[in-house]
């Protein structure tokens, strides 16, 4: 069975059994009807995914991995903060009349900085280090820029990546300050697993391990029965990720260079209300 499913189920069971409710606190998120959106959470969740073993795509329900990849390329490759450069409408609610989400996500990755090898942005710095200084323990990105938070439509949730080359394998740690487990976990895991694969192939390495650190992993009150039903679903074998081996330039990758074989998933069609 899929290891990603097993990790997800174990995390949800732990949150529901041992988590802490915030019903005694005033909270910012609201449901569409204006009701406060309370959560049950666990602090400091750490999940590990061996990308040599499988591509961590949830089979309990369908994950729209191509849309996740599209958002990934929008942020990391295009370094865009405008929803007009994105194929899906997932960011539309946060965009202004011009389509901008402010100085968030892709904008931060595209800011030029003076590094030792010259002036470049964070993505190009990582790519340079992976090829020229793979033993470095400073291969990382961070988009949680305090000076710009007031100009961001949404403070970054997944805000930092730390890369580490061990042998010929590229490992990475994704740091996330907050995660809506039902709405975002499967999306973020598959998305950043793809990023490790992209950087590895562009650097002549193999994808190794993705470690996902979530400071506040929470399930919203109205999502609890959905989660309970979801984790009881049948688990399938993990699918196989296929990437065109001829592409070696990170900026040359497109969605068409990726496919997933034998992706079995359950027809779990519960409508999910998102708290904002």
- Active-site annotation holds for 157: yes
Classify the C-alpha dihedral 111-134-256-236 as positive or negative: negative
Q: For residue 63, how far is the Cα from the chain centroid?
A: 12
Q: What per-residue string of b and e applies to 108-143 under the rule 16 or more CB within 10 Å gives b? A: bbbeeeeeeeeeebbbbbbbbbbeeebeeeebbbeb
- Rounded CA-CA distance 156/140 in Å is 16
Task: Check 155, 157, 211, 274 and give the catalytic one.
Answer: 157
Three-class SS of 149-179: HHHECCCCCEEEEEEEEECCEEEEEEEECCE
259 token code pair:
């496919």
Catalytic positions: 157
């Amino acid at each position: 069975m899929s290891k990603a499913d097993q990790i997800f189920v174990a995390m949800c069971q732990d949150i529901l059994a041992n988590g802490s409710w915030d019903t005694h606190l005033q909270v910012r998120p609201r449901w569409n009807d204006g009701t406060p959106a309370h959560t049950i959470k666990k602090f400091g969740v750490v999940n590990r995914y061996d990308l040599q073993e499988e591509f961590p795509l949830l089979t309990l329900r369908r994950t729209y991995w191509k849309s996740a990849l599209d958002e990934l390329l929008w942020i990391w490759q295009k370094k865009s903060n405008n929803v007009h450069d994105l194929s899906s409408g997932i960011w539309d609610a946060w965009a202004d009349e011009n389509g901008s989400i402010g100085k968030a996500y892709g904008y931060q990755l595209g800011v030029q900085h003076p590094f030792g090898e010259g002036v470049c942005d964070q993505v190009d710095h990582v790519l340079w280090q992976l090829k020229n200084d793979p033993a470095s323990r400073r291969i990382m990105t961070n988009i949680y820029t305090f000076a710009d938070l007031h100009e961001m439509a949404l403070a970054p949730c997944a805000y930092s990546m730390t890369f580490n080359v061990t042998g010929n394998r590229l490992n990475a740690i994704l740091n996330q300050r907050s995660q809506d487990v039902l709405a975002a976990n499967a999306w973020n895991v598959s998305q950043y697993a793809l990023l490790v694969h992209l950087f590895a192939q562009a650097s002549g390495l193999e994808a190794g391990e993705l470690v996902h650190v979530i400071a506040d992993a929470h399930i919203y009150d109205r999502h609890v029965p959905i989660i309970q039903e979801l984790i009881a679903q049948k688990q399938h074998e993990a699918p196989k990720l296929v990437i065109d081996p001829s592409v070696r330039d990170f900026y040359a990758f497109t969605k068409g260079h990726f496919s997933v074989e034998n992706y079995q998933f359950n027809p779990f069609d519960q409508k999910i209300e998102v708290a904002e």
